[in-house]
Amino acid sequence: MLKNPRLNINLRKIKKNSEYIRNLCLQYKIELVGITKGCSAIPEVAQAMVDGGIKTLGDSRIKNIQMLKKMGIKAEMMLIRIPMLSEVDKVIKWADISLNSEISVIESLSQEALKNDTIHRIILMVDLGDLREGVRPDDVLIIVEKIVKLPGVKLIGIGTNFCCISGVMPSLESLTKLVKLAEEIEHSFGINLEVISGGNTSVLKLVEDGIIPERINQLRVGVGILLGQDDARSRNLDGTYQDTFILTAEVIELKVKPSLPQGEIGRDAFGEIPVFQDLGLRKRAILALGKQDVHINNIIPIKKGIKIVGASSDHLIIDITDLAEEINVGDKLDFKLNYPALLSASTSKYVNRYFYKEENCKYSN
């Protein structure tokens, strides 16, 4: 018997998504890096990406990269979060490439690489307006001058990021600026940059529209592969599957109850003051699923007529008054996931995982 709650993971569809996006990028000579952090680097998912033709995998946690290598995943590994000084030794041991923005960290990587008689490849991140990681454009040449003098590390390129902390969208103008910075570095220091990493899933729209600058030759794509979504634009990617991950939860209570609570309203368990609308008596179900398992605001019921009322840490309340079919205690209900929900559900130790390779699967049986 399958255990609930559970993530039903369709590896065939993740492979197909990887193939489709990879082929799209290859039309413009762009390498696709598969980002695994959105599903907590589930090894089977990482392997599906590799089976789909992806040669490099990226994750924000060195622990995940270490795990994937120990599991025998045959791909280059990229650490996509700026390394912590306290983990530099592990970065050198497990990551083939890392994204960087702090010279003190790069100096430490250099020293550790020398100890291990190796060359560690780095991509210098440039902040083009999203205000997450990266050096400012005016400081790029200053830091590159220091990097190229360091033994044990090789600057293979520069990169940038969009839509992660400030919602700044990628544009032809901003990516052209990145290319010009790369050319300025090459001219100033007499080096060739192998990689100009243009960003994440949000940049795929420029690829689809055929307006990606010619020298952008790498994209780091996570949610586009995992869920077939461009969440920055709230759209599905043409040619991809969105039902790659389905969350199933079990009904543990069915009752007709008032829609308006009785008594004085204070803050709930998460410090919020809930607001309710009086809709009279409603048929409600409780599912064995809560905020400790998943980001509730980003799950979508597959069956029509179900409305999410709210959740505590361990209970999800849904309104099933308008559901056409009969629901009983013990029944299972399925939900599609957006990125925050996948991130949290794959991280929770309370959510079980089951893997499928068939095209059409019924998960809630």
Provide DSSP, 149-190: T-TTEEEEEEE---SSSS-PPP-HHHHHHHHHHHHHHHHHHT
* Pairing mode, strands 299-301 and 307-311: unpaired
Q: What is the residue whose two structure tokens read 């530099």?
A: 88
Distances (CA, A) of 53 to 25, 34, 49, 73, 339: 12, 10, 7, 13, 23
Q: What is the dihedral of CA 290, 295, 299, 305, to 10 degrees?
A: 50
Residue 97 has phi, psi (to 5 degrees) of -140, 145
Catalytic annotation, pick one of 15, 16, 37, 336: 37
* Amino acid letter, residue 12: R
Q: How far apart are CA 211 and CA 170, in angstroms?
A: 11
37 is catalytic: yes
Q: What is each CA distance from 321 to 117, 135, 273, 311, 318, in whole angstroms?
A: 66, 54, 25, 18, 9
Both tokens assigned to 319: 């309104």
* Residue 329 tokens, joined: 């205690």
CA gap 145, 97 in Å, rounded: 20
Q: Are 194 and 156 in contact (CB under 8 A)?
A: yes
- Strands 76-79, 56-59: pairing is parallel
Cis check: omega of the bond before 83, within 30 degrees of 0? no
Could you give the C-alpha distances from 198 to 177, 180, 204, 222, 255, in angstroms and in order?
11, 13, 10, 14, 52
Residue positions annotated with a catalytic role: 37
